[in-house]
Chain A
Amino acid sequence: MKLSKRPMITLAVVALLNLFVAVIAPNDETVIKIATDEDFFKLADIPVAVSLVAWICASVSLAAALAGVLLHFVAKRRLPGVLTALGFLAFAFTSVVYLYNGNDLTLTSLLQGSLALSVPLIFGSMAGVLSERVGVVNIAIEGQLLFGAFTSAMIASMTHNLWAGLVGALVGGALVAWILAVFSIRYKVDQIITGVVVNMLVAGLTNFLFGTLMGSDPVTFNQPPRFEKVTLPLLGQIPVIGQVLFNQTPIIYIMYLALIVVFVALFKTRWGLRVRAVGEYPKAADTVGINVFRTRYVSVVLGGALAGLGGSFFTLGQVGSFGQNITHGAGYIALAALIFGRWNPLLAASAALLFGFSQNLQYGLAIIGSPLPSEFLLMLPYALTVIAVAGLVGKVTGPAAAGKPYTKE
């Protein structure tokens, strides 16, 4: 096996960027605020010198890069993911502290907001994982999120019941995924075409119904209740982490659960083995008696249901009503997270968190009037994905049979 130089080079570039920030960093202080009222014990605010932080982080990432170079040339081993993560994290922290220079950085709200923005992306990327791992390319994540958002709002509004709304989200997302499945599995239409067109169909349909049904009688159709935050006992009182992770709406708790279940089911169970087999080599699965079509339908539709839940986070978890095109391209960012996370649900969720963080950082910076144009932070997911598929950070390959309709002989 030839060792790829790219991870090492990437790490070195990140370290140099970090060094650059350290050199230009001013001597201002950024105050990092950590404590909130609900905490178990209070942590004091920490004023930090921007340049000091930058230099410390730069040393860390330089050390990581050096270790990477040594590993590559001396030990001739692949770089462990931890090393790459360390380099990136150090750089990310430097950048945040630098961008906030002279201002208060409220860590909890920054992270809380990031998580909130990541929720639909994580659900969406799970939908992508389930669909693409079984061999169906899912460009229709956006449509699944959007329809989930729509049906959840409508059902919850009509029944005045949030849980019925969640069921509506599941069904809505699953329905869109089912259309994708029928056309790409049964009629063998190109999966990308189907995905794009299904997104268009859902956008048109929800906009249309928003204008007619919801527009004419919003009280009945578009005034759902909204989920309240539930603080988990004990866990919720850990400083920072508790507030960010365990003082959230039930949808987010469902997401934690779903993430674990999807990961375990995919890699540890019989069902998961069969799903992955169908996505890699459907004929081989067929010859051992696995029903390729049914496996594909089930996995794609389950994924759609999850994406539907992600859509409900917009309506039932945040806004409290449906709006035109409320998902705003989140499905495509989820697709980006899926690719950046190499079709692994946990890695994809990490990528989704990164993307959510960069989006939220942009809001924070806009408030303190940072000179960094917000568009560039918003661009991050898309740019990173292009970099990933261009193979600049190691080779990214999806399931072998993704995109190819299966024809039984």
Chain B
Amino acid sequence: MKLELRGITKRFGALVANDNVNLVAEPGQIHCLLGENGAGKSTLMNVLYGLYQADGGEILIDGKAVKFSGPGDAMAAGIGMVHQHFMLIPVFSVAENVILGHEPTKALGFIDIAEARRRVKEISDRFGFDVDPDAILGELPVGVQQRVEIIKALISDAQVLVFDEPTAVLTPQETDELMAIMKQLRDAGKAIVFITHKLREVKEVADKITVIRLGKVVGEAKPTSTQEELASMMVGRAVDLDVNKAPAKPAGVKFGVKNLTVFNHLGQKVVDDISFDIAAGEILVFAGVQGNGQTELTEAILGLQTKVRGSIELDGHELVGQSVKHRLDYGLGFVPEDRTLDGLVADFSIAENLMLDRSDRKPFAKGILLQLGYLAKFAAEKVKQFDIRTQGINQRAGSLSGGNQQKVVLARELARELRLLVASQPTRGLDVGSIEFVHEQIVATRDKGLPVMIVATELDEATQLGDRIAVMYRGKIVGIVPADTDRAKLGQMMAGVAA
């Protein structure tokens, strides 16, 4: 089955998310759709899957125009989707998840669970997935959950399979396994559309590459293109992938973590007995696939995690057992991973967000009386200093662009007298200009003689920003190595192979 998107245009208000996009997926071929976050890849796929209605253009299957008014239509036409956020229900069994929407039934609408099991088993065996139909989905590892998502697409005999950023949550091994599965599916005659922004993966599996930028197709690339070529097509200019920074001048240990263990609410160890030091004037980047304990580690340092064993020492002061407020006051700067959820109050103004951490003390408050005059002055100053593009200090923070939101968070955190900066994925989803700005701020903080801890999932960012790199795998530190360590080696470490 051949799928063709012709001239697809999709607008959201004034924003054109897809502008006259063409794309062809042919059987036995892996077609990569490459683009930065926010380039319009997911919008295009949602149009294809019937979740959005296009404002222009058409979808053709084997040369015939079709119209999808919902995912049901797309599925019936033979299109299957492996979603970035799995469309699976944690409390259901694997079989229940797979059959949802086209359940085999006996009389009176009773579900034929034996038949459901059989179907899951059949596909699982055919592709060597090794999935137990009766397992409760939520109790399975992420890689296995993704296979369930693939089985779900295959069970309705999909001929075109769309993978939407499928490797974001996978370990390197799981990623390799997924790549193998994709090739296997291709060889079985399926048409594969692989949406990603990771160049290495594109290089590994693509038969054909379409690059999309700001909603427009900028061109096709050959699988033989170099990563630099692909990157420059993706971002629109020759990318300077390097961060400008002088060599670090580490000067004595300022921040030390010893034998730290963090338990989650189920009592599982999510950070497992780790120790490391950061010197003054040094950036230590935590690399590794998301979900290996980095988030919990930073949360433990801030004090959001409550079941913690071990020691976290900053300037000779023990932080474990102290409140979040105490740690912030003591000089911890914290840039959270998800700025819209954890960094900002979207409905508050920029000014209000800038005093979120110190609203109850001088100079922002006298007693419990807010000093709104001071706040206005302070906010105006920060807007200028951090080049926050806004209509004014009273603009809703939620209406700012991602880059400007991150600047607000940085402005707030760097305004305190700091002893340590912890930033979790500080450039996630930002445009190139903002990334540069954030990197500059981080390096400047280091050069002031502070220890800096960064969590990065992109290996490139880790090697360029860090002075040293710590790799985490399943809650443990696999090793701490210099930033110029060989990529292949880092990749192995991310898969849990010790340095």
- Bound pair (A, B): yes
State the Cβ distance, B305 to closest chain A Cβ, in Å. Answer: 16
- Kindly state the separation between the CA atoms of A409 and B89 in the bound complex, as whole angstroms: 19
B81 at the interface (CB under 8 A from A): yes
- Kindly state the separation between the CA atoms of A280 and B266 in the bound complex, as whole angstroms: 21
Q: Is the interface of B mostly helix, strand, loop or mixed?
A: loop
Q: Beyond A269-B110, A273-B100, A409-B51, is A286–B92 a contact (Cβ under 8 Å)?
A: no
- Kindly state the separation between the CA atoms of A270 and B109 in the bound complex, as whole angstroms: 6
- Flag if B71 contacts A280 (CB, 8 Å): no
Q: Which residues of A lie under 8 Å from residue B73 when comparing CB positions?
A: 289
Which chain B residues (237-263) contact chain A, with CB distance < 8 Å? Answer: none
- Flag if A268 contacts B75 (CB, 8 Å): no
B363 at the interface (CB under 8 A from A): no
What sequence of 0s and 1s flags, for each residue 143-162 of chain B, a beta carbon within 8 Å of any chain A beta carbon?
00000000010000000000
A284 at the interface (CB under 8 A from B): yes
Q: Which residues of B lie under 8 Å from residue A286 when comparing CB positions?
A: 51, 70-71
- Flag if B71 contacts A277 (CB, 8 Å): no
Q: Which residues of A lie under 8 Å from residue B46 when comparing CB positions?
A: 409
- Flag if A285 contacts B100 (CB, 8 Å): yes
B267 at the interface (CB under 8 A from A): yes
B384 at the interface (CB under 8 A from A): no
A251 at the interface (CB under 8 A from B): no
Q: Count the A-B residue pairs with Cβ separation under 8 angstroms: how many?
A: 79
Q: Which residues of B lie under 8 Å from residue A400 when comparing CB positions?
A: 90-91
What sequence of 0s and 1s flags, for each residue 55-84 of chain B, a beta carbon within 8 Å of any chain A beta carbon?
000000000000000111101100001010
What sequence of 0s and 1s flags, for each residue 49-88 of chain A, a beta carbon within 8 Å of any chain B beta carbon?
0000000000000000000000000000000000000000
- Kindly state the separation between the CA atoms of A28 and B100 in the bound complex, as whole angstroms: 61
- Flag if A289 contacts B266 (CB, 8 Å): no
Instruction: Name the CB-closest residue of B to A408.
Output: B51
A227 at the interface (CB under 8 A from B): no
- Flag if B109 contacts A271 (CB, 8 Å): yes
- Flag if B70 contacts A289 (CB, 8 Å): yes
B188 at the interface (CB under 8 A from A): no
B129 at the interface (CB under 8 A from A): no
- Flag if A409 contacts B88 (CB, 8 Å): no
- Flag if B100 contacts A288 (CB, 8 Å): yes
Q: Beyond A287-B87, A288-B71, A288-B87, is A270–B92 a contact (Cβ under 8 Å)?
A: no
A253 at the interface (CB under 8 A from B): no
Instruction: Name the CB-closest residue of B to A268.
Output: B110
Select which of A269, A271, A284 is within 8 A of B100 by beta carbon. Answer: A284
Q: Beyond A270-B105, A409-B52, is A289–B75 a contact (Cβ under 8 Å)?
A: yes
Q: Beyond A277-B92, A284-B88, is A270–B103 a contact (Cβ under 8 Å)?
A: yes
- Flag if A289 contacts B72 (CB, 8 Å): yes
Instruction: Name the CB-closest residue of A to B75.
Output: A289
| 20 A-B contacts (beta carbon < 8 Å) | A269-B108, A269-B109, A269-B110, A273-B99, A273-B100, A280-B91, A280-B92, A281-B90, A284-B87, A284-B89, A284-B100, A285-B100, A287-B51, A288-B87, A288-B100, A289-B75, A289-B101, A289-B102, A290-B100, A409-B51
Give the contact-size bracket for chain A.
20 to 34
- Flag if B109 contacts A277 (CB, 8 Å): no
Interface residues contributed by chain B, number (CB under 8 Å): 34
- Kindly state the separation between the CA atoms of A281 and B72 in the bound complex, as whole angstroms: 17
B49 at the interface (CB under 8 A from A): yes
Instruction: Name the CB-closest residue of A to B265.
Output: A2
Q: Which residues of A lie under 8 Å from residue B51 when comparing CB positions?
A: 286-287, 409
Q: Is the interface of A mostly helix, strand, loop or mixed?
A: helix
State the Cβ distance, A325 to closest chain B Cβ, in Å. Answer: 38
Binding site for A on B (CB under 8 A): 46, 49, 51-52, 70-73, 75-76, 81, 83, 86-92, 96, 99-103, 105, 108-111, 152, 266-268
Select which of B99, B101, B268 is within 8 A of A285 by beta carbon. Answer: B101
Q: Which residues of B lie under 8 Å from residue A288 when comparing CB positions?
A: 71-72, 75, 87, 100-102, 152
Q: Which residues of A lie under 8 Å from residue B90 when comparing CB positions?
A: 280-281, 400
- Flag if B89 contacts A280 (CB, 8 Å): yes
Which chain A residues (276-301) contact chain B, with CB distance < 8 Å? Answer: 276-277, 280-281, 283-290
Instruction: Name the CB-closest residue of A to B51.
Output: A409
- Kindly state the separation between the CA atoms of A2 and B52 in the bound complex, as whole angstroms: 43
- Kindly state the separation between the CA atoms of A270 and B268 in the bound complex, as whole angstroms: 35
Q: Which residues of A lie under 8 Å from residue B81 when comparing CB positions?
A: 287
Instruction: Name the CB-closest residue of B to A274.
Output: B100
- Flag if B71 contacts A289 (CB, 8 Å): yes
- Kindly state the separation between the CA atoms of A327 and B392 in the bound complex, as whole angstroms: 56
- Kindly state the separation between the CA atoms of A290 and B86 in the bound complex, as whole angstroms: 16
Select which of A270, A283, A285 is within 8 A of B111 by beta carbon. Answer: A270
- Kindly state the separation between the CA atoms of A283 and B91 in the bound complex, as whole angstroms: 15
Instruction: Name the CB-closest residue of B to A281.
Output: B89
State the Cβ distance, B133 to closest chain A Cβ, in Å. Answer: 15
A234 at the interface (CB under 8 A from B): no
Q: Which residues of A lie under 8 Å from residue B110 when comparing CB positions?
A: 268-270
State the Cβ distance, A361 to closest chain B Cβ, in Å. Answer: 36
- Kindly state the separation between the CA atoms of A289 and B71 in the bound complex, as whole angstroms: 5
- Flag if B101 contacts A290 (CB, 8 Å): yes
Q: Given A273-B100, A287-B83, output 13 extra A-B contacts at Cβ < 8 Å.
A: A1-B267, A270-B111, A273-B96, A280-B91, A281-B89, A284-B86, A286-B71, A288-B87, A288-B152, A289-B101, A289-B102, A400-B91, A409-B52
- Kindly state the separation between the CA atoms of A285 and B111 in the bound complex, as whole angstroms: 17
Instruction: Name the CB-closest residue of A to B156.
Output: A288
State the Cβ distance, A297 to closest chain B Cβ, in Å. Answer: 17
State the Cβ distance, B343 to closest chain A Cβ, in Å. Answer: 23
State the Cβ distance, B25 to closest chain A Cβ, in Å. Answer: 19
- Kindly state the separation between the CA atoms of A118 and B344 in the bound complex, as whole angstroms: 49
State the Cβ distance, A168 to closest chain B Cβ, in Å. Answer: 28
Report the 8 A-B pairs with minimum CB-CB distance, sorted nearest first. Answer: A289-B72, A288-B101, A2-B267, A284-B87, A269-B109, A270-B103, A287-B87, A287-B71
- Flag if A1 contacts B266 (CB, 8 Å): yes
State the Cβ distance, B199 to closest chain A Cβ, in Å. Answer: 29
- Kindly state the separation between the CA atoms of A280 and B138 in the bound complex, as whole angstroms: 12
Q: Which residues of A lie under 8 Å from residue B88 when comparing CB positions?
A: 281, 284
Q: Which residues of B lie under 8 Å from residue A290 when comparing CB positions?
A: 100-101
State the Cβ distance, B329 to closest chain A Cβ, in Å. Answer: 32
Q: Which residues of B lie under 8 Å from residue A269 when comparing CB positions?
A: 105, 108-111
Chain B CB within 10 A, most for which of A2, A270, A274: A270
Chain B CB within 10 A, most for which of A268, A284, A286: A284
